[in-house]
Amino acid sequence: MGKLYIVPTPVGNLEDMTLRAIRILKEADLVLAEDTRTSGVLLKHFEIKNAMQSHHKFNEHKTTESVVNRIKGGETVALISDAGTPGISDPGFLLVRECVRNGITVECLPGATAFVPALVNSGLPCDKFCFEGFLPQKKGRQTRLKVLATEQRTMVFYESPHRVVKTLTQLGEYLGAERQASVSREISKVHEETVRGTLTELVAHFTVNEPRGEIVMVVEGFEE
């Protein structure tokens, strides 16, 4: 039987690719990629010429079974996403679960992910935290915000740039406008930036300075 490797890829700077990740991708029989065009640029940069197949949220239900069968047949498969660690707000969970159910060895390499540097960089407590990913867009959004109002751990969110002001405003409404927070964008890229302050101050800043790029928000937990 083969094996499934979960391989993190850089969230920005290509130097964040580990030597082991390069080796595993070169040795794999098949590389599953969220977007083969995006990953094609990365693989070409590191001179990796392996077979690639698309595996994304729109087709993972269909492709998972065939991938599991290939691994059962002895192939080594490596899963990558467009950036960061697969499974963290990216496809990966379904495939890992099915491999585990089928007794296939799964190994996740340590490597780049956006929320860890943003959390550590925030200046907020990072001994205990909860990762919320993207808040629900419509249904369940208010319910989730009400629950988080009394969350005592530091909270970490992903957000798209055009929704940053809206989300910061809503966090202020439900959690309190004076909560300390930080917004990190373009982590490990040329224009990396972290802005810290109260939710009110951050709303004011990003209303004037339109946010761009990948966004991670870190918000202070509730103090009794």
pTM over 0.85: yes
pLDDT of residue 125: 97
137 shares a domain with 91: no
pLDDT in tens, the chain (224 residues): 999 999 999 999 999 999 999 999 999 999 999 999 999 999 999 999 999 999 988 888 888 999 999 999 999 999 999 999 999 988 899 999 999 999 999 999 999 999 999 999 999 999 999 999 999 998 899 999 999 999 999 999 999 999 999 999 999 999 999 999 999 999 999 999 999 999 999 999 999 999 999 999 999 999 98
pLDDT of residue 56: 84
Q: What are phi and psi of 99, to 5 degrees?
A: -65, -45
96 shares a domain with 182: no
Q: Answer yes or no: are the C-beta atoms of 138 and 176 closer than 8 Å.
A: no
CATH code of the domain in which 31 resides: 3.40.1010.10
132 shares a domain with 86: no
224 within a domain of the structure (yes/no): no
120 shares a domain with 90: no
30 within a domain of the structure (yes/no): yes
Token pair, residue 40, equals: 């094609």
pLDDT in tens, 87-126: 998 889 999 999 999 999 999 999 999 999 999 999 999 9
Q: How far apart are CA 199 and CA 169, in angstroms?
A: 7
Q: Answer yes or no: are the C-beta atoms of 224 and 202 closer than 8 Å.
A: no
Residue 24: give the domain boundaries.
3-108
HSE-CB at 217 with a 13 A cutoff on CA atoms is 32
| Tally of domains in the chain | 2
Q: How far apart are CA 96 and CA 99, in angstroms?
A: 5
99 shares a domain with 147: no
pLDDT of residue 73: 97
pLDDT of residue 59: 86
Residue with tokens 């890229």: 189
Q: Answer yes or no: are the C-beta atoms of 46 and 34 closer than 8 Å.
A: no
210 shares a domain with 123: yes
176 shares a domain with 92: no
pLDDT of residue 138: 87
